[in-house]
Amino acid sequence: MEVSTHAAQSPAAAVKQTPAAQSPAAAPPSTAAVQAVVPAPSTGVLAGIDVLEADGFRPLKGLRIGLITNQTGVDRLGRSTAEILAQAPGVRLRALFSPEHGLQGTLEEPSVPTDIYRLPDGEDIPVFSLYGDTKTPTTQMLAGLDALVFDVQDIGARFYTYAATLALAMEAAAAHDLDFFVLDRPNPINGEAVAGPVLDDGLRHFTAYLPVPVRHGMTIGELARLHNMSGRVGARLQVVPMRGWSRSLWFDQTGLRWIIPSPNMPNLEAASLYPGIGCFEASNISVGRGTPVPFRWIGAPWMNAEAVLKRLRKAKLKGYSFETASFRPSKSVFKGKKCRGIRIRVRDREAADPLALFAHLVCALRDIHPLEFGIRPEEMTRMAGTARFADLYRSGAQPASMILMFRSDAARFKAWRAPFLLY
């Protein structure tokens, strides 16, 4: 077990270059409709919940716990962590907490309702939402608990909100003198690649919370260690590490089940593109929400897709192929409107750089559609993690300058993050 309570220098100093109504009892988080088993590799990975089970739940014995989880919290056999801990000998599950999208991972509303969960003995316990108006566990929610346990699959991009939920819950645990356990899971897009600027000092938002690059290459347990030490949180943190995971592994090389972590993240290809294409959520184009290919296509009714495609092919970006494609999104941006756009396919994920792709796309759209295309600067600053990006964009900078900025912090961040790594 890893206990982390001491403080460390902030990454900004080390890296930065420039200045409730209840509903009927909930079932365990279901994976029936969303899981897909990937081919098992020669090596098998045990997630934190599997290691905890193998250890007989020893660290949690005698504790009254609250579990932060959703449909991705399952063991290697597909059993939900909520169900497992509800029946674990000597462990008393007293509350559940859900991140964005709710316990089942299917909701897209800005506010997620409170629910109840029925234990095997028939007792009902509350399910509290950590999204919407209340993103941090309150004193009332934590009453009667000795510890919080976190088991949620992250995606590997800073602006994916599950890591912010982890950080806020850890801060609440420290403030209320509770133990905090993280059942570790893989970074699905591997633990080696790092890209994007480290978060600017003073920039703090639910989608810009931890001082890491856009693509940070860390597991959720490692992010917990980083926040606890560098953020001087001082929680009694214990990370239950995986067994068999190494930093070079992508999710489909672990033998673990891919369970859709949120409604618009259907597969590993989408996850690998998300650190780049996700930045377009701070613009006025569709990123494919409400189409069969979220985060694998961008479009708009006014887009000259052929001109954008020509720019992309001229750039000769490694790891990708592109084609024009039209969709009519059923939700989100341009709902119900026919959009022309670019379909993106990952051909070599080791060579592909999603932030370089974003740089080429955003410059192409700015140059080809100066009147139609636009970014929301404040929101884009949160997505990119730095005001430097919006400055470059407004100055008319070309992709090479943006890519240099995206890559400038990577080496120093890798050195700075080293004490927090577990694998």
DSSP line for 65-124: EEEEE-TT-B-TTS-BHHHHHHHSTT-EEEEEEE-TTTTTT---SSS---EEEE-TTS-E
Q: Which residues contact 105 (CB under 8 A, 6 or more apart)?
A: 29, 34, 70, 71, 72, 259, 260, 261, 262, 263
pTM for this one?
A: 0.90
More reliable by pLDDT, 352 or 25: 352
**What pLDDT was estimated at residue 194?**
96
Distance, in Å, from the CA atom of 124 to the CA atom of 333, rounded to the nearest integer, reads 39
Q: Report pLDDT for 209.
A: 95
At residue 35, the pLDDT reads: 37
Whole-number pLDDT of residue 31 = 42
Residue 353's contacts (CB-CB under 8 Å, 6 or more residues apart) are: 195, 276, 317, 318, 319, 403
**Tens of pLDDT, residues 39-92:** 444 458 999 999 999 999 999 999 999 999 999 999 999 999 999 999 999 999
Residues for the chain: how many in total?
423
**CA 165/CA 101 separation, integer angstroms:** 12
Strand partners, 183: 240
How much is the mean pLDDT over the chain?
90
The SS3 assignment for 415 reads helix
Do 149 and 163 meet the contact criterion of CB atoms below 8 Å apart? no
DSSP string over 264-303 = T--SHHHHHHHHHHGGGGGBTSB-STTSSSTTSEEEETT-
Positive or negative: CA dihedral 35, 296, 106, 206: positive
Question: What is the pLDDT averaged over residues 250-277?
Answer: 97
Strand 320-327: give its sheet, edge to edge: 297-300, 339-346, 320-327
Among 71, 68, 55, 63, which Cα is nearest to 92's?
63
Which amino acid belongs to residue 114?
Answer: T
Which comes out higher in pLDDT, residue 120 or 182? 182
Q: What is the pLDDT of residue 147?
A: 98
The dihedral formed by the CA atoms of 269, 270, 272 and 277, expressed in degrees to the nearest 10: 140
Tell me the sheet residues that pair with 147.
65, 179
Per-residue pLDDT, 176: 98
- Residue 393's contacts (CB-CB under 8 Å, 6 or more residues apart) are 362, 366, 375, 380, 402
Q: What domains appear along the chain, each with residue ranges and CATH number?
A: 2-260+416-420 (3.40.50.12170), 268-385 (3.90.1150.140)
Q: Is the pLDDT of residue 117 over 50?
A: yes
pLDDT of res. 74: 97
Express each pLDDT in 279-311 by its tens digit: 999 999 999 999 999 999 999 999 999 999 999
pLDDT tens per residue, range 191-232: 999 999 999 988 999 999 999 999 999 999 999 999 999 989
pLDDT at residue 29 is higher than 70: no
Say yes or no to pLDDT of 10 above 90: no
pLDDT confidence tier of residue 27, bands split at 50, 70 and 90: low
With bands split at pLDDT 50, 70 and 90, how would you rate the model's confidence at 114?
Answer: low
Integer Cα distance of 141 and 143 in angstroms: 6
Exposure of 24 by Cβ count < 10 A (0-12 exposed, 13-18 middle, 19+ buried)? Answer: exposed
